[in-house]
Structure 1
């Protein structure tokens, strides 16, 4: 009996020294109540991908903000993006996100080029937008938030998810508030580049 009690008392201590286990990413079930929560302004914070086309874009983008607004159909969102690619601020407003409630996926369709990417929204804090990009056999994960910065705790949780997907620190690309572009409707100040329509 004493040995059992000692074992049980020592178990939490032993469990505390184990490395964190990799819990599976849990997608959000998209329905009529979750889709409206996507509307509004978001700031892209960090991403990682093993998919070569995504990887090239991650390396080039140093700032990105985007907003979702209602589209012409119930399951369609208009997207306006402003980003700094290398040294140039670019505004894009020719893409849409299609919401497929039956399998809880989002499809980003880019303008006339019909470039398509698929993603699942991962369960997290309501002010975070974690997307698991699924249109390739290469893992890709990104984090956006309602503000240009996230808490240390949220960043650590996201980094743990990246680690579980096999990403090393050198595979992760961050944006910076030092490279901010003016958001649509803001006045141009000294030292800020005017956004160009893309």
Structure 2
């Protein structure tokens, strides 16, 4: 009886392996190519946290998008955030510190540092940040994409990574791009930068 039982178990292993989720590893190290990949405009899609502080914080966001401009030589990222909180648009700028060797980004908010472990799925149109990855009582994961609407495959990768880290799908807080109130301000900033660039070109031509 032992041999047939062993053979039966072995025959199931490929099936079990195929059904097991594929977890996205932490990006170690962060390279210039990595920074180029996450450069540009991104939308905050969803997140789930076990940390009570983080959990309450993300619930304030109805919609959010941001621009990241990496500086390879200084190991920093210039961040411009447009967030719809309540019934108003909030605009903030910040500078993220890059720790290449352990694949983390550091952001200071009101004097408090917050680390995010950068995770890059196979789909280059998305990325994730993990918080407190070694602490099951605080662990969390946030999803970002280059478009506000994601495909079922992109969302499923996020859900798989949540399961890999003991986070339930029911814990996810989603944003809604339809509730965004920051597009007018973004447009205003784009027009201001365009005028500044045109003015700089005129000054250069006069020199």
Counterpart CA distance in 2 for 1:151 and 1:122 is: 18
Aligned to 2:68: 68
Pairwise mapping of residues 114-133 of structure 1 onto structure 2 (< 5 A)?
114-124=111-121, 125-133=123-131
C-alpha RMSD over aligned residues:
2.8
Change (3 A) 1:67 1:139: same
CA distance 1:60–1:33, change in 2 (3 Å): same
Distance 1:114 1:72 in 2: 24
Partner of 1:98: 97
SS of residue in 2 equivalent to 1:120:
strand
Task: Spell out, residue by residue over 1:70-111, the C-alpha distance to the aligned partner (whole angstroms, 9 max, x if none).
Answer: 459520011111111122211111x1111111222111123x
What are the within-5 Å matches in structure 2 for residues 37-76 of structure 1? Answer: 37-71=37-71, 74-76=74-76
Deviation for aligned residue 1:129 = 1.3
Q: CA deviation at 1:53?
A: 1.5
C-alpha spacing 1:78/1:136, structure 2 compared with 1 (3 Å): farther
Which blocks of at least 5 consecutive residues in structure 1 are unaligned? 188-198
| Whole-Å separation in 1 of the counterparts to 2:164 and 2:72 | 38
Higher helix fraction: Structure 1 or Structure 2?
Answer: 2
- Higher Cα radius of gyration: 2
**Could you list the per-position Cα deviations for residues 142-185 of structure 1 after superposition, in whole angstroms to 9, with x for gaps in the alignment?**
10001111110110121121123222233110001221123344
- Alignment partner, residue 191 of structure 2: none
CA contact (8 A) 2:95 2:107 kept: yes
| Structure 2 Cα separation of the partners of residues 26 and 121 of structure 1 | 9
Aligned to 1:186: 187
What residue is the counterpart of 2:196 in the other structure?
none
Aligned residue pairs: how many? Answer: 178
Report the CA distance shift for 1:114/1:73 in structure 2 as closer, same or farther (over 3 A).
farther
Summarize the Cα distance change of 1:169–1:23 in structure 2 as closer, same or farther, 3 Å threshold.
closer
Deviation at 1:123, TM superposition (A): 2.6
**CA 1:60–1:31 in 2, change beyond 3 Å: closer, same or farther?**
same
> Which structure 2 segments of 5+ residues have no match?
189-207
3-state SS, counterpart of residue 89 of structure 1? strand
